[in-house]
Amino acid sequence: MKKNLQHNKGFSLLELLVVISIIAIMITLGISSYSTAQKKSRDSKRKSDLKDVQSALEQYYSVCGNIYPIPVGFYSGGIICSSPSIAILPNLPSDPRGTTSYTCSSCNSTSYTLCASLETENVTAFCVSNLQ
């Protein structure tokens, strides 16, 4: 008596389900990591932008008579000294996501505090000031 052995040439349903589950878990982890990396990147850009504006304000202070420009909006017209006529930072950076903007609190001719909302850190805002 010979047994008729059949050789399966495919995968069982259980094997396919295990592989599909592993792939789904890997995709979920990858998307999560990518999202976190994007948030960190945008936060770094926000911090860099505020430091650039701070540098421009300090340059304005030293060139334009030891006063800071009083902002209209968030310096919507740029940071431009009228006497002498110097465009220190004609185009201000904008938030990388575009949903929020940078804010200027307590801004006057003698002081400023610039802030940006952050996405990833425990502290929800990053601020720079001439009082630091």
pLDDT band at 8 (very low <50, low <70, confident <90, very high): low
Amino acid letter for position 50: L
**Better-predicted residue by pLDDT, 84 or 39:** 39
Per-residue pLDDT, averaged over 87-115, amounts to: 84
Question: Cα 27 to chain center, whole Å?
Answer: 24
Q: Does 2 score more than 70 pLDDT?
A: no
pLDDT band at 5 (very low <50, low <70, confident <90, very high): low
The pLDDT value recorded for residue 4 is: 57
For the chain, the residue count is: 132
Q: Are 129 and 121 in contact (CB under 8 A)?
A: no
pTM score of the predicted model: 0.75
